[in-house]
Amino acid sequence: MASIGIVGAGTAGLHLGLKLLAQGIPVTLYSEQEPDAVRTGRLLNTVTHHAPTRAREREVWVDFWGVPELAMKRLSIHVHAPQPFSVQGRLSDPSLCVDYRVYQPRLAEAFVERGGRLEILPVDAVMLEKLASRHTLMVVATGRNGLTGLFPRIPELSPHTKPPRVLFAALLEGLRMPQPTSMHTNLIPGQGEVFESQIITRHGRVPSTLIEAIPGTELAALISRKRDDDPAALDASLLEVMRRFAPATYERIDPTEFGVRGPLDFLQGGFTPAVRRAWAPLGEGRFVMAVGDTHVTNDPVAGQGANGASASAFALAHAITDALLAERPFDEAFCRDTDARMWAAVAPTTHWSNALLEPPPAHLIDLLVTASRDTFVADAFVSDMMIPERILPICASPEATAAYISEARTPRADLLAASGALGWDTGTRIRPLAG
């Protein structure tokens, strides 16, 4: 009987494994760490899952945090231009932010409960060859470090040759959380971006931040000091970041309590985004596929890496199922076809992430300014910007953006439904017809 081996139990490996199990295909996940080691380890990221990923989670019954009050319902964008302005919108489909130290071990448990096999084994290239003889197909999902070297970078799809941002992410204390759960995004021309959100952890809901600094800027200098060397000094720099670059967050800070929550609740550094070929040859005519960050590594500025990894994992699961049903071999032709299918699923996340690393074009600034003045445009824009397939065509040209603005000014049925305005409780957003 066919069996699939997956190296890496991150979101890509887990979503692929769970989807294949749901299709009745036996799967073994090889993970370098026990789920408990992940639970008690360092913060991995500050990932937000958006509506399409949440739909896939429901499809494989891992929507364990689907309580409405935990979901992120609002997004504010503060533009620190010479004349600052803010966009405040409501998401038609709320997003969800769960600490991956909670999320991934819980999904690994679900995988085992459903008959998946989990082996704790760090896999190198030699071991990968050995495992390939045990399985019909091997998939590498070891993230942006792991075994990426096996899969050649595609230069024409990878414009960055060094990290475009210096990153700092942390869980925080001494910051009063907004109600309802929401994200504050600060766009600081010439410096970078500062995000504040709330994340579900094993200690409940806590505030978090992601700071994306353009290298060589004041913002980068403030977050580059190694926190392990002097935690108090870094916390003071973080307070300064919030005071100068995230004033709406700073208003809710108690400076005497503010800082990184615990010694493992932060990460610092940077990485270079890349698109790699999604397959590589192994010995004896076998092939291995890559998925998730191993295939496509995006900068986190758009919050899309894991969402793309999930979309791509499902595309790969469908391709594997189709091949098994058609008794098609996992040969080079399969790899090439599947690479194209996976790239189609993940490409919008890469294009949107790379676009946000550049200064916005004039028509996108027009859209932001309009959204700051019109709540219908704001609601539509913040909802659409979470979904790259939707926002990319909207921003593709000045004409497309203008058409979008004029249409968004008329409230859309899904947004009205989300606001409750189609129910009996309020009519405040239904404007009287003219004449």
Residues at the interface with ligand FAD (CB under 6 A): 7-13, 30-33, 45-48, 122-123, 141-143, 146-147, 167, 169, 210, 292-293, 300, 303-307, 309
Closest to ligand FAD by CB, 36 or 251: 36
User: Cα separation of 32 and 28, whole Å?
Assistant: 13
241-368-238 Cα angle (round to 5): 5
Q: Among residues 185 and 401, whose Cβ is nearest to ligand FAD? A: 185
Instruction: Name the minimum Å distance from CB 278 to ligand FAD.
Output: 12
In 10 A of CB 57, how many CB atoms?
Answer: 21
Residue 122: other Cβ atoms inside 10 A:
12
Which residue lies nearer to ligand FAD by CB, 46 or 370? 46
The CB-of-181 to ligand FAD minimum distance in angstroms stands at 14
Amino acid at 400: A
Full DSSP string of 22-49: HTT--EEEEESS-HHHHHTS------EE
What value does the CA radius of gyration of the chain take, rounded to a whole number of Å? 22
The token pair at 187 is 């766009």
Q: Can you tell me the distance from the alpha carbon of 238 to that of 242, in angstroms, rounded to the nearest whole number?
A: 6
User: Can you tell me whether residue 423 is helix, strand or coil?
Assistant: coil
Tokens 């921003």: give the residue: 395
Closest CB to ligand FAD among 116 and 372? 116
Q: At closest approach, how far in Å is the CB of 268 from ligand FAD?
A: 10
Tell me how far, at minimum, the Cβ of 20 lies from ligand FAD, in Å.
15
Which one, 46 or 354, has the nearer CB to ligand FAD? 46
- Minimum Å gap between C-beta 100 and ligand FAD is 7
Burial 195-224 (b: 16+ CB within 10 A, else e): bbbbbbbeeeebbbbbbbbbeeebbbebbb
Question: Among residues 32 and 218, whose Cβ is nearest to ligand FAD?
Answer: 32
Closer to ligand FAD at the Cβ: 123 or 364? Answer: 123
- Closest approach, Cβ 311 to ligand FAD, in A, equals 10
Nearest C-alpha neighbor of 210 from the set 197, 227, 225, 228: 197
Report, in Å, the least distance between residue 128 CB and ligand FAD: 9
